[in-house]
Structure formats: C-alpha cells, structure tokens
Amino acid sequence: MSFAELLDHVGGMGRFQIIYAILLAIPVFMMASHNLLQNFTAATSEHHCHVHININNTPYTNLTGKLAAKDLLKVSIPMDSNLQPEKCHRFVTTQWQLLDSNATVTNLTELETEPCADGWVYDKSIFTSTIITEWDLVCDSRQLKQMAQSIYMVGILAGGIIFGGLSDRFGRRSPLIWCYLQMAVTGTCTAFSPSFTAYCIFRFLTGMAFSGIVMNGVSLSVEWTPTRTRAVVVTMYGYCLTIGQCILAGVAYAIPNWRWLQLVVSLPYFISFIYSWWFAESARWLVIAGRPDEAVKQLQRVARINQKKEEGDKLNTENTVQSTHQCSLPTFAGPIAEREHLVTNKLNDKDSLCINTCLLHPRFSTSFAYYGLAMDLQNFGVNIFLIQLVSGAVDFPAKFISVLTIGFIGRRFTQALTLILAGLSILANIFVPQDLKTLRTVLAVVGKGCLAASFNCVYLYTSELYPTVIRQTGLGLSNTMARLGSITAPLVKMLEEYIPFLPLIIYGAAPIISGIAATFLPETLNVLLPDTIEEVETRLVESIGRQE
C-alpha cells in the first residue's frame, strides 16, 4: 500500500485536511503585504527644501497667509521644468525680484543655489508618515529606498537556504512555528525601528521568516493532502496571495502612517504562532527521519479527527514504514555523500545544463520583471491605492487563463507567450508620453498579469522537467534564481538616475529573451513525470529534433 493510499484510509481530504489547509492559508493573506509593503511605507511624497523666513518681516505682509506662503516658496526655491519647486535645491539668497511682475530676470539658471541644508517639507495629504519622510531618504539618499527592498529580498533568499536545510533535518512543523514567531516579532520590531539601519536589519529577518513560512507551509500541506486534491489546495494558496495584494490596498488606505501599517500586518502572526502548535508533523518525514512510532501516532490522530478511528487503530509501524518506502527511490538509498555526488553529476550533465539554462532564465526574469513593476506603482502617476488594487485583481483572470492554456495547449507555449507579452507590454511604456497615465497604467497592469500567469506556469513546469532523482535540488536552484531576480529588480531601478528609460528596457528585454529560451524546452503536457536523467535527455533530443 502506497502512502497516498494510506492517507485515503485515514480519511483522504477529510476534516483534518480541510482545517489544516485553512489554518495554513490564513497567514498567506498577509504575505503579499510584507512583499509589497514598501509601496506604501516607503512612498515618496512631494517635497522641497525647508525655508526659514519670517513671513511677517517680508515686503509682502499685506498679502494673505496662503498667497504669502506660495510667494515665499517662489522666492526661495527654484522651479523645475514642470514649474514645480525643485526637490533638492534652494536659492542661496531670497530672490525678492521674482515677485515683481514688471521686473525681468535675464537667466534664472544664473541664480546661485545650494542643497537643502535645513531639511525638507513633505506633502502629507496622502501619507502622514513614511520611512522617506522620517529619515529623509530623498535627493542624495534616495537610492536607500531601493536598497532597503533589496535587503528584504536577500533575507528571503537566506531564509530559503537556512530554513530549507532545517526543515529536512528537524521536520516541517518546528521551523514553521518558529517562522511565525519570527515574522511577528521582527515585523513588530520594524514598526518601532529607531533608525534606518535597524529598519533594514529587521526587514532582513522578516524576509527570512517569510521564506520559511512559504516553504514549510506548502510542504506540510502537500504531504498531508491526497494526490487528487493537491493541485486545488496549492492553487488556493496562490489565490490567497492575490487576495492579499487587494487587502493591502485597503489597509494602506485606512492607515497612512507607516509604523501603524507595519504593526497591523505583523501582529496577526502572533495568532498564527499560537494555533500552529496544533499542527501535526509530516508523517512521511517522520518515517524517513527514523521515527516511525511518532508517524503512526500522527496518522492515528488524523484518523480520529476524520472520524476514521477504526482505520487508524489498524495502523502499525511496519505497514507505515513500508508505505513510505514505496515512494523512495533506490537511487537515493546510499550514504549522503554518494547522493550528493550523484546530484552534482546530474546537474553538470550537458543536457541538464541545457534545461537549467532554458528554465532558470525564465524563473529569474519572471521574478525580476514582476517586482520591477510591482514595486514601482508611484511611477505611473495614478492613485497608488487604486493601482495596487487593480494590479492585484488582474492576477485572478491571468492565472485562470494560464490554467486553461497550460491544460489544453501546453506548458511551453504558455511559458513562452506570457513572458514575451509581458516584455512587450513593459517596453511599450517607453514610447507612451508621461501625461497618458491611463494608458501607461493599463500596459503595466497587463504586463504584471502576464508575469503572474508566468509564475503560475513556471512552478508546474519546473517540477515536471526535472527528473525525480534531482527534482528537489532543481526546485531549490529555481527558487534561488527567482530570489536573485527579486533582489536585482530594485537595484536596476537606480539606473533611471542616469537614463530615465533604461530600467524599462532591462525589465522588458529580460522576459522576452527568457520567452525565446523557453521555446527550446520539451513539452510536458500529458507526459509522465521523468524519474531518471536519461528520460529527460531523450525528451530534450526529441524536442530539438521536432523544432529543427
């Protein structure tokens, strides 16, 4: 009897699995909030240099306060090309002659200016407080905003490496419980950060916890869910993330102060930490770890909750171990050193390298372009709360359409098409004037939707292309490439300081190149999962032969 049949005997997709899936899904709603939180906590408000002049002692004291303030700005701050106050400079001396409509100023550029020595004044009509306004991350310090997001993404990468190893050694349950606590504590500490350095440290630790929650939560869910309902459960988690993006827009609109917003999206994880002690450890992992007695107890507990107590009482250590061993591969039965040597040889195989190149590039580009768009909502000049809501909602139809094309047309077609369309949508925005805000927003939303569909496809495609003997290693490598893409995306945004449209060129070109690379991959629609590297080699050769 296989382990899947064993799960069916203790209830299949019963009461325990439904409760388990719901409890694991609740924290997922707030996961998107942490990933995209800096769209709001690090929003850049309109600003200009602080001006220290007493209006009562000026030559225009007869004017009303409102006009006086406006004119005071005119004589103190130079105007940019859009006739808006300069953000980073002010006049060295007050230019009273600019108030005289009859006077002529030959060349405004000849008037001496200086950097903002006394701080900045910020427009607080939308956000009362952000990390930008609190720590003056503008002008010469403006790149620190993108650096903070990259540090968070580095935390996600580090968390994947650390908690991935810990979950294989200590199980899925314990690291997951710890990550809930770490997310709650470090997220709360972020809200009380006394400095920008402390903020970055706590965000890094939050990113680590994020990665641990995703990996261990999915592993626990998949390992306790019957095969026939596994895809439904995983898809549900994907839609929970999408709903979370929409929730973030409403929460951020209601809470314009960054510290309170950070606190609100972090405190719920304390509740998750409390109820997570109810979670059952993976029975499959317990057997592999040499603890079959505990595995039997967990299975019997599941049987009782699913009202299958009699079936649970029939279980014993022997049949549980046998069912789990049926899922194991003889190839991996040797010592750890031998298995690691095997994996290294397989990944260095020329055909594996071909698949890695054609598959990992789309994985990198999808994440790279996705976060390049998702973390730059202010650039489109539309209400940031509305565009966050729309960009989150577009994932619903995008993922649904991708499911249809994946199931009826094929994985390779879907992967290539979504990446190329996403790249073209991003590149098209280079040629759209800044004043056509609606069109620019539509193109950006279409691009993000295509990338969401690409995400939906690449997870499945990756697991189907790698053979069983190196599947987990391949998935880990794929996840690393995705994290590198999300780390690089904010850094590329800094290039707009030198060439304004250069980031869009890079964000658009990367998925197009990846889409072309994806066309060289073998199709996996209605094809059995490969167990050996030889099967993959055969399919790759056949695929290339058909294309030629």
User: pLDDT by residue (tens digit) across 242-268?
Assistant: 888 888 889 999 999 999 999 999 999
- Residue 91's DSSP bridge partners are 113
How far from 36 is each of 39, 59, 246, 378, 459, CA to CA, in Å?
6, 48, 11, 13, 21
Show me where the domains of the chain are located. Answer: 1-32+135-328, 47-122, 329-548
Location of structure tokens 């619903």:
396
The per-residue pLDDT for 546 is 54
The per-residue pLDDT for 470 is 61
The per-residue pLDDT for 183 is 94
Query: What value does the mean pLDDT of the chain take?
Result: 78
Spatial CA neighbour of 365 closest among 275, 455, 443: 455
User: For 367-391, b where at least 16 C-beta lie within 10 A, e where not — what string?
Assistant: bbbbbbbbbbbebbebbbbebbbbb
The residue-averaged pLDDT of 285-291 equals: 77
The residue-averaged pLDDT of 73-90 equals: 79
* Confidence band of 334 (pLDDT split at 50, 70, 90): very low
How would DSSP label each residue in 123-167?
A: --SS-SB-HHHHHT--GGGTHHHHHHHHHHHHHHHHHHHHHHHHH
Distance (Å, whole) CA 527 – CA 533: 15
Find the helix or strand (DSSP H, E) in which 90 lies.
strand 89-91
Give the three-state DSSP class for 520.
Answer: coil
How remote is the C-alpha of 183 from its chain's centroid?
15
- Of 272-276, 347-351, 499-503, the poorest mean pLDDT is in 347-351
φ, ψ (nearest 5 deg) of residue 283 = -65, -35
Distance (Å, whole) CA 221 – CA 223: 6
Is the pLDDT at 63 greater than 50, yes or no? no
Is the pLDDT at 225 greater than 60, yes or no? yes
Distance (Å, whole) CA 412 – CA 406: 8
The residue-averaged pLDDT of 74-93 equals: 79
The per-residue pLDDT for 541 is 57
Is the pLDDT at 354 greater than 50, yes or no? yes
300 in Cβ contact with 61 (< 8 Å): no
The residue-averaged pLDDT of 48-55 equals: 70
* Confidence band of 347 (pLDDT split at 50, 70, 90): very low
The per-residue pLDDT for 58 is 53
The residue-averaged pLDDT of 350-375 equals: 75
Is the pLDDT at 329 greater than 50, yes or no? no
370 in Cβ contact with 448 (< 8 Å): yes
Structure tokens at 119: 């701080």
The per-residue pLDDT for 386 is 85
Give the three-state DSSP class for 384.
Answer: helix
The per-residue pLDDT for 394 is 87
Location of structure tokens 């009782």:
304
The residue-averaged pLDDT of 199-226 equals: 86
Which of 3.40.50.720, 3.40.50.740, 1.20.1250.20, 3.90.1150.10 would CATH assign to domain 1-32+135-328? 1.20.1250.20
How far from 89 is each of 9, 105, 139, CA to CA, in Å?
73, 19, 9
Is the pLDDT at 239 greater than 50, yes or no? yes
The residue-averaged pLDDT of 507-519 equals: 90
The per-residue pLDDT for 124 is 86
The per-residue pLDDT for 404 is 84
The per-residue pLDDT for 341 is 45
172 in Cβ contact with 216 (< 8 Å): yes
Report which listed range, 491-500, 510-519, 538-547, is most confident: 510-519
Which of the two residues, 543 and 532, has the higher pLDDT score? 532
Structure tokens at 77: 């701050």
User: pLDDT by residue (tens digit) across 123-156?
Assistant: 888 889 999 999 988 888 888 888 898 899 899 8
The residue-averaged pLDDT of 35-53 equals: 83
The per-residue pLDDT for 473 is 62
Is the pLDDT at 426 greater than 60, yes or no? yes
User: pLDDT by residue (tens digit) across 153-192?
Assistant: 899 888 888 887 787 778 888 889 999 999 999 999 999 9
Q: Classify 329-548 by CATH class.
A: mainly alpha
Number of helices (H) and strands (E) in the chain: give both, helices first: 25, 4
Distance (Å, whole) CA 548 – CA 546: 5
The per-residue pLDDT for 120 is 87
The per-residue pLDDT for 425 is 92
Distance (Å, whole) CA 312 – CA 301: 8
Which of the two residues, 154 and 57, has the higher pLDDT score? 154
- Residue 257's DSSP bridge partners are 129
Distance (Å, whole) CA 108 – CA 508: 39
Is the pLDDT at 547 greater than 60, yes or no? no
Is the pLDDT at 110 greater than 60, yes or no? yes
Structure tokens at 323: 């069912």
Which of the two residues, 75 and 530, has the higher pLDDT score? 75
The per-residue pLDDT for 65 is 47
Q: Dihedral of the CA atoms 387, 391, 394, 399 (nearest 10)?
A: -170
The residue-averaged pLDDT of 475-493 equals: 81
Domains 1-32+135-328 and 329-548 share a fold: yes
Is the pLDDT at 423 greater than 90, yes or no? yes
Give the three-state DSSP class for 193.
Answer: coil
Distance (Å, whole) CA 202 – CA 183: 10
Which of the two residues, 536 and 138, has the higher pLDDT score? 138
Location of structure tokens 């000849």:
110
- Length of the chain, in residues: 548
Is the pLDDT at 203 greater than 60, yes or no? yes
Is the pLDDT at 97 greater than 60, yes or no? yes
489 in Cβ contact with 351 (< 8 Å): no
How far from 332 is each of 170, 297, 348, 350, 534, CA to CA, in Å?
19, 27, 18, 22, 16
The phi-psi region of residue 45 (left if phi > 0; otherwise alpha if psi is between -120 and 50; otherwise beta) is beta
Q: For residue 319, give the amino acid letter.
A: N
The per-residue pLDDT for 534 is 66
Please compute Rg for the chain using Cα positions.
28
Distance (Å, whole) CA 149 – CA 490: 7
The residue-averaged pLDDT of 101-105 equals: 57
Distance (Å, whole) CA 269 – CA 258: 18
The residue-averaged pLDDT of 88-100 equals: 76
The per-residue pLDDT for 340 is 44
How far from 478 is each of 437, 455, 472, CA to CA, in Å?
35, 12, 10
